Amino acid sequence: MAEITTDMLDYATNGSNASGFLARPPGEGPFPAVVVIQEWWGLNAHIKDIAGRFAKEGFVAFAPDLYHGEVTSEPDEAQKLMMQTDMPRASQELVKATEYLSQKPYVIAGGIGSTGFCMGGGLALTLATDTPLIKAAAPFYGVNPQPIDKLQNLQGPVLAIYAEHDDWASAAVREALQSAMERFGKQLEVQVYPGTEHAFFNDTRREVYREAAANDAWKRVLALFRAEL
């Protein structure tokens, strides 16, 4: 069986260049595509591995490097990097990355999915409100777009995945999302995994990783993207 291919690619954004990690299935395609958005650690091996998992499932996956080369495994440094990030600029970089991905000949021209984790979860949902190219979003334990009324711009369904015990993406965050989505008549599935904590999908963090919940969430994300993209 042919192997997936991976590469770091540059794309134009905000008058300069940004880069991202691309993972492709074997063959010429075209394939459905997904934008994969980093946690606060940066574009690390875990996020690249997730992109590779998508490629093995038949998706082109592109993970933009929002920290422009900086990566950390230290929580204090990760918080510093996140706080230093200009989020409107990061959101614009994600829009440009989506446009860049959509123009590739090996990508199906019908629409792209977005997913992300923690910081990237919020950005994945925001991205879906910032460009009509995103036709389905699967944010993991992310905060809501600001202002939340941006949700009326969504072009497809949202699968919002949460941990039961999470001070970042709390019950209040979930309830606000559900209320707004109902108000705007948008399609939403909320999946809260009992007994889990923030970052339960991250299998490099053994203290919080929960295999059964992570596997179930992955199956749901694949089902959404296969149905919508």
Q: Where are the domains of the chain?
A: 5-228
In the predicted model, what is the mean pLDDT of residues 6-24? 93
For residue 46, indicate whether it is catalytic.
no
In the predicted model, what is the mean pLDDT of residues 12-38? 94
- Which of 68, 166, 167, 203 is labelled catalytic? 166
Peptide bond into 75 cis (omega under 30): no
d(Cα 12, Cα 24) in Å, to the nearest integer?
20
In the predicted model, what is the mean pLDDT of residues 135-142? 98
- pLDDT of 31 reads 97
d(Cα 78, Cα 128) in Å, to the nearest integer?
25
- pLDDT of 110 reads 81
Beta strands 107-117 and 31-37: pairing type?
parallel
In the predicted model, what is the mean pLDDT of residues 152-157? 97
- Which of 10, 76, 149, 198 is labelled catalytic? 198
**Per-residue model confidence as pLDDT tens digits over 165-214:** 999 999 999 999 999 999 999 999 999 999 999 999 999 999 999 999 99
Supply the mean pLDDT for the chain: 95
When pLDDT is cut at 50, 70 and 90, the band that residue 108 belongs to is: very high
- Which of 10, 46, 76, 118 is labelled catalytic? 118
Three-class DSSP category at 115: strand
**Per-residue model confidence as pLDDT tens digits over 57-101:** 999 999 999 999 999 999 999 999 999 999 999 999 999 999 999
- pLDDT of 1 reads 52
Beta strands 31-37 and 134-140: pairing type?
unpaired
For residue 7, indicate whether it is catalytic.
no
CATH code linked to domain 5-228: 3.40.50.1820
Fill in the amino acid letter for 130: D
When pLDDT is cut at 50, 70 and 90, the band that residue 2 belongs to is: low
For residue 118, indicate whether it is catalytic.
yes
